[in-house]
């Protein structure tokens, strides 16, 4: 499931494919994904020019001329492919943009959105802040995210810290994988009460969140540079994870066994020796 680093990797790949380029043709394969798509979306997109793609949490925000923004969310299984020639669309390719250079009319780049489980979102909005983004917490790699901030927002939470970290209103873009990994590197149990995270613990956790995300973004960048097979999915890359998905395997730090528990319907992986 794509989290902040995967979405950031997709954004980096979209920068040259979309920025200052014109939509020659938009293909919309179905009226809905997770929610209904905007009415007449293909027609509203055709002829328009993209600004610079940016990201907020797990959302891709693709500004267009005319002060509208195309919002993309990869959901649980969404992926993007970029082709240099018209691709054959597969069963789960629900959306495609054929892009031409700024002054051109012939499409030279094709951006395809594939989503088998259809939890992805596509929206087109003109407001300054999309309602889905208005409540979102600070970017974990931005200046607003600090140990003091984290301790303050966790201080009145009664649940476990792992569940709180995945709350997009507290911090944007952290999901199950990176919450598990950050807690491991901070030496904090996912079961620990959120309200007990303060002082040094808050500092360790803030640094660990930043660190795991930055390392994953670097991996994603490497995957883009190594990306030689045309038509490959962007944003899914192999990583060395310390605990996530490693139930029953040895902890790299202490040699103990990695455990898995379910919290708020999601699996939490951790080492009970290393994480308290």
Residue 225 falls in which region: left (phi positive, over 0), alpha (psi -120 to 50) or beta: alpha
**In terms of DSSP H, where are the helices of 40-130?**
41-45
59: β partners: 56, 73
Q: Does 240 qualify as catalytic in the annotation? A: no
Token pair for residue 11?
């954004």
Binding region for Zn ion (CB under 5 A) out of 140-148, 162-170, 174-182, 248-256 = 248-256
Q: Does 58 qualify as catalytic in the annotation? A: yes
271 is an interface residue for Zn ion by CB under 5 A: yes
231 is an interface residue for Zn ion by CB under 5 A: no
251 is an interface residue for Zn ion by CB under 5 A: yes
* Cα 151 from Cα 131, distance rounded (Å): 26
56, 58, 201, 246: which is the annotated catalytic residue? 58
Binding region for Zn ion (CB under 5 A) out of 25-33, 174-182, 202-210, 263-271 = 263-271
274 is an interface residue for Zn ion by CB under 5 A: yes
Q: Does 86 qualify as catalytic in the annotation? A: no
- Give me the torsion for CA of 44, 60, 18, 96, rounded to 10°: -60
Give the footprint of Zn ion on residues 143-162 (CB under 5 A): none
272 is an interface residue for Zn ion by CB under 5 A: no
Nearest alpha carbon to residue 209 among 268, 147, 271: 147
Q: Which residues are catalytically annotated?
A: 2-3, 58, 266
Binding site for Zn ion (CB under 5 A): 251, 253-254, 256, 271, 273-274
């Amino acid at each position: 499931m794509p989290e902040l680093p995967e979405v950031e990797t997709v954004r980096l790949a979209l920068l040259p494919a979309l920025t200052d380029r014109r939509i020659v043709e938009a293909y919309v394969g179905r009226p809905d994904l997770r929610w209904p798509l905007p009415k007449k979306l293909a027609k509203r997109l055709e002829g328009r020019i993209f600004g610079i793609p940016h990201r907020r949490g797990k959302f891709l925000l693709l500004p267009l001329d005319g002060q509208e923004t195309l919002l993309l969310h990869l959901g649980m299984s969404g992926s993007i492919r970029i082709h240099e020639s018209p691709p054959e669309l597969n069963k789960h390719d629900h959306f495609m943009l054929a892009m031409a250079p700024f002054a051109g009319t012939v499409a030279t780049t094709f951006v395809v959105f594939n989503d088998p489980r259809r939890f992805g979102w596509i929206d087109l909005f003109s407001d300054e802040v999309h309602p889905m983004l208005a409540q979102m917490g600070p970017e974990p790699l931005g200046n607003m995210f600090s140990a003091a901030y984290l301790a303050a927002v966790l201080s009145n939470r009664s649940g476990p810290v792992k569940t709180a970290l995945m709350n997009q209103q507290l911090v944007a873009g952290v999901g199950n994988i990176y919450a598990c990994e950050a807690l491991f590197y901070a030496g904090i149990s996912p079961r620990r009460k959120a309200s007990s995270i303060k002082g040094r613990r808050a500092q360790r956790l803030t640094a660990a969140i930043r660190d795991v995300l930055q390392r994953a973004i670097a991996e994603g960048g490497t995957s883009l540079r190594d990306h030689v097979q045309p038509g490959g999915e962007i944003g899914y890359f192999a990583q060395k994870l310390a605990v996530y998905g490693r139930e029953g395997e040895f902890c790299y730090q202490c040699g103990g066994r990695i455990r898995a528990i379910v919290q708020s319907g999601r699996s939490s992986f951790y080492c009970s020796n290393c994480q308290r």
